[in-house]
Amino acid sequence: MADDGSARLAIDGGRPVRTEYLIFGKPDIREEEIREVEATIRSGWLGTGPRVAAFEKAFCEYVGSRYAMALNSCTAGLHLSMIAIGVKPGDEVITCPMTFASTANVITHLGATPVFADCDRETLCIDAERASEKMTQRTRALLPVHFAGRTADMTALQALARDRKLRIVEDAAHAIEAAHQGRKIGSISDCTVFSFYVTKNVITGEGGMVSTDDPQIADWIKVAGLHGLSRDAWKRYSDEGFRHYEVTFPGFKYNMTDMQAALGIHQLARVEANLKRRDEIWRRYTEGLSDLPLRIPPEPAQGDRHARHLFIILLDLDQLRISRDQVLQALHAEGIGTGVHYRALHLHPYYRERYGYGEGDFPNAEWVGERTLSLPLSPGLSNRDVEDVILAVRKVLCSALV
Ligand SMILES: *Cc1c(COP(=O)(O)O)cnc(C)c1O
């Protein structure tokens, strides 16, 4: 460890590991995406159209669901899924505080209550046993998150749901490629919701998708995502001739556009190749960092497939003189961008004030939230980039040993 521990940190005026900043979550965009976007613009069909339909079809095939509905975000998909499975004001939905805000925000949008159940310290996913302790007469649904690309224990959660006649919506924003016990994520629950936000594994700039096998849910989400207009109203100005639409209920403006789908079609075609590249980077990080005062979440159970979305390190703060935020700042000065996924959601002001959550309520999520740091993991990283990240993390942590 001594080799790089002696160099002066950039944050203290030393030479940074990189002069060209490595941003976290750099998107991997290739010529084929650029050409497809250009063709979309030239076609004049910028809104929801044939490219969205093609992307939905390819996505269904990839995840093995009967239906897939493209939307303008995962958040929109979570919102519509909650309505589609019948969540109503006063209901409770059990989810995990170790997640992005929108997972729980959508529950509050319906006047329902997000009931948090702590995560497991190893998997960082919801602990099914704790979830079962949170059940009441009002519990309507479970909303697990496949954290960092590792699947939540769907076997246990499905057993819980079956016993109590609950619905399940999966937040699979991190988990497009994942599988649980040989079953592809996207083909398991009532609804599974994916994100194509710029830092995710498949990107469309902004975008999301809901997959389901239920024709009624599929139909409803399709209509609800476009103002509640009668089916296929997006074709109303096409060469099939003008047609009247009917408003069947007041829906939302959540549709995906062909501009976005143009990116998605080619991104999805490379999804497995990109996973393979991230898998290589993952193994190199594991090798290069394993002797440092940090913990890397363990490999998934046999039969599960990890989507390798976030490479997370959990700092051993007892062995370091500096906090996670100071490590983050020091890495920034070395030219390395990182992410924090996440500070525990129940500690954010809205959740404290509205639901009375506070410190100590979910010790595992809080423990993770204080020491977690995500390293760059884009398939577009060069081997040199990866070595720079390892060098910078080693340099910063070795200089901060107690
Ligand atoms: C990114 C993300 C979302 C939201 O996705 P958008 O497409 O930005 O709406 C939801 N949940 C998790 C866990 C996420 O990481």
In a shared domain, residues 298 and 211: no
Residue 318 forms part of a structural domain: yes
Over the chain, what is the mean pLDDT? 96
Q: Cα separation of 221 and 216, whole Å?
A: 9
Atom of ligand 1 nearest to the CA of 207: 7
Q: What confidence category does residue 237 fall into, taking pLDDT thresholds of 50, 70 and 90? A: confident
DSSP 331: H
Residues 256, 262, 267: CA angle, nearest 5 degrees: 105
Q: Could you tell me what percent of the chain has a pLDDT over 90?
A: 93
Q: Cα separation of 91 and 114, whole Å?
A: 9
Q: Are the C-beta atoms of residues 310 and 392 closer than 8 Å to each other? A: no
In a shared domain, residues 147 and 195: yes
Q: Which residue CA neighbors atom 2 of ligand 1 most closely?
A: 173
Q: What confidence category does residue 244 fall into, taking pLDDT thresholds of 50, 70 and 90? A: confident
Active site (annotated) includes residue 88: no
- Residue 284, domain CATH: 3.90.1150.10
What is the per-residue pLDDT for 6?
57
In a shared domain, residues 279 and 395: yes
In a shared domain, residues 300 and 362: yes
Taking only the tens place, the pLDDT of each residue in 113-144 is 999 999 999 999 999 999 999 999 999 999 99
Q: Is 91 in the pocket of ligand 1 (CB under 6 A)?
A: no
What pTM was computed for the model? Answer: 0.96
Q: DSSP strand E in 303-351: where?
A: 311-315
Q: Cα separation of 381 and 278, whole Å?
A: 9
Selected catalytic residue, list 134, 184, 200, 222: 200
CA–centroid distance, residue 287 to ligand 1 (Å): 29
Is the pLDDT assigned to residue 1 strictly greater than 80? no
Residue 4 forms part of a structural domain: no
Residues 10, 16, 17: CA angle, nearest 5 degrees: 135
Atom of ligand 1 nearest to the CA of 200: 1
Total H helices, total E strands in the chain: 14, 12
Q: Is 256 in the pocket of ligand 1 (CB under 6 A)?
A: no
Residue 5 forms part of a structural domain: no
Domain extent for 290: 10-28+271-399
Taking only the tens place, the pLDDT of each residue in 325-377 is 999 999 999 999 999 999 999 999 999 999 999 999 999 999 999 999 999 99
Is the pLDDT assigned to residue 3 strictly greater than 60? no
Q: DSSP strand E in 196-310: where?
A: 208-212, 294-295
In a shared domain, residues 19 and 57: no
Is the pLDDT assigned to residue 306 strictly greater than 70? yes
Q: Is 124 in the pocket of ligand 1 (CB under 6 A)?
A: no
Mutate to test the pocket of ligand 1, among 80, 102, 192 (most ligand atoms within 8 A of CB): 102
In a shared domain, residues 252 and 376: no
Atom of ligand 1 nearest to the CA of 76: 9
In a shared domain, residues 47 and 66: yes
- Residue 252, domain CATH: 3.40.640.10
Q: Give the end of a domain, one of 269, 294, 311.
A: 269
In a shared domain, residues 371 and 307: yes
Residue 132 forms part of a structural domain: yes
Q: What confidence category does residue 240 fall into, taking pLDDT thresholds of 50, 70 and 90? A: confident
Is the pLDDT assigned to residue 231 strictly greater than 90? no
Q: Give the end of a domain, one of 269, 292, 323.
A: 269
What is the per-residue pLDDT for 5?
46
Is the pLDDT assigned to residue 398 strictly greater than 50? yes
CB atoms within 10 A of CB 368: 25
State the SS3 of 100-122. CHHHHHHHHHCCCEEEECCECCC
